Structure 1
Amino acid sequence: MSLLLEARNISKRFGGVQALQDVSLSIREGEIYGLIGPNGAGKTTFFNVLSGAYTADSGEFLFAGSALPAGMPHEVVQRGIARTFQNIRLFRDLTALENVMVGQHARTHAGLFGVLFQTRKVRDEEQATTQRALEWLRYVGIERFADTVSKNLSYGDQRRLEIARALATGPKLLALDEPAAGMNATETAQLRTLIEKIRGGGVSVMLIEHDVKLVMGLCDRVAVLNFGQKIAEDVPATVQRDPAVQEAYLGSSHHAA
């Protein structure tokens, strides 16, 4: 598999806190890649720098062979990287369908004139956007809630909706920030099936997750952050046996066991 994403020596500091320090990793096309570590390890900061929400102090990202723009989230999306958030960020008063339609903004072409005068081209594009949004809701299994205001959906269905909205941007890489947080065992199993389906559809996945069982059973490779530094990167079985990982993330009691 060819490389899709390369992170080269990414560093980010907030005041006296070194959130990331020379973090390098790579993700291949068609791969499910896990990023784990204890709270405060720098995982979400890494996602924020990758997505353009933060600008790295040093280092760079290469995506599909060329540099990603720093601090420009809309351009990152247009290049083919979409993400979800640790805390769900939906438009709470919009329907599920409308939320997914918003996600397609990076792939639509209507200009101000066309929108104001509702030209035929704009109407056709809006109809196509609606149809694609319905297809994404169907893809994640919540099409029956198309007309439901998102704040009225269950927690698990809100997570699915956020994934549908991200997929609507047409990504090559989908970055999921703790998608199983707050889910019960049944919802987590359904999430695993969905992520495998997404990978099967040709989209690489990068996964931050505290559910170690999910990560180790799902990911092709796993990297571990601790205090902003990468302390391990390998296939799940090898990472699990790493004493530094057991100490930093899984806990010393697990290491003793």
Structure 2
Amino acid sequence: MSNYSGYFIDLDGTIYKGRERYPSGKRFVERLQAAEIDYRFVTNNSTKTPEEVARNLTDNHDIPTSPEQVYTSAMATADFLRTQPKIESVLIVGEGGLKTAIEQAGFQLVAKAPADAVVIALDRDVTYEKLMEATFAIQAGARFIATNIDTNLPNELGMTPGAGAFVTFIETATQTKPVVIGKPSKTIIDLALARVDKNANEVIMVGDNYNTDIKAGLNAGMDTLLVYTGVAVKTDVQQYEAAVRPTYEVDSLDDWIL
């Protein structure tokens, strides 16, 4: 197996599953640390700040993590907005992690049109009024941006609606396609690479979900490692053509040789 100077690693289904610890995930991170290999946890979750994500890994999964080792779709959205001209005000349908990232990037948060951009994410306190104001702002010319288009999020209750459900609502109401930042878009990967000052051929994308993690890596021109501890089903992936197969596949991260 090839040597990589950096790893981008998914979280849920890869390093842990909800509140369930994956000992293989902890051992994998410890091996990266021992080898002094740079890594970042790259997640579509926009609801948490990097500090909250790091605290969850440290306190609940016994994987000591700093906020600098976390890159969320909220952070990527803020980085993307910085590259766009004439965007000062942003209307958000989303939670605290997204609002914090956008505010810290220097943008003004607004609740109604006019707005220069509308960002749609998972919002568990969503109301019809929020969605209506987002619709009005996009109809008036605001840029439509989605942190990610995950259709569902698994939890102890079942497959709950993800950010993609809200994105589809706004897309239908406005007849406008969003710019998608998170996986499987290459945008989050390109922005994460810029953060660590590395090229795509130096980093490998690690995840359990073919349709998000692996496709993001493929779209960015990276090697990919699919681990069968979460969403992906081996018999399904093995039917894909070679050109769109993961570079590597393992049953457990314990099987991966650095």
TM-score per shorter chain, which class? 0.3 to 0.5
TM-score between both structures, scaled by the size of structure 1: 0.34
> Higher helix fraction: Structure 1 or Structure 2?
1
Larger radius of gyration: 1
* Larger relative contact order (CA 8 Å, sep ≥ 6): 1
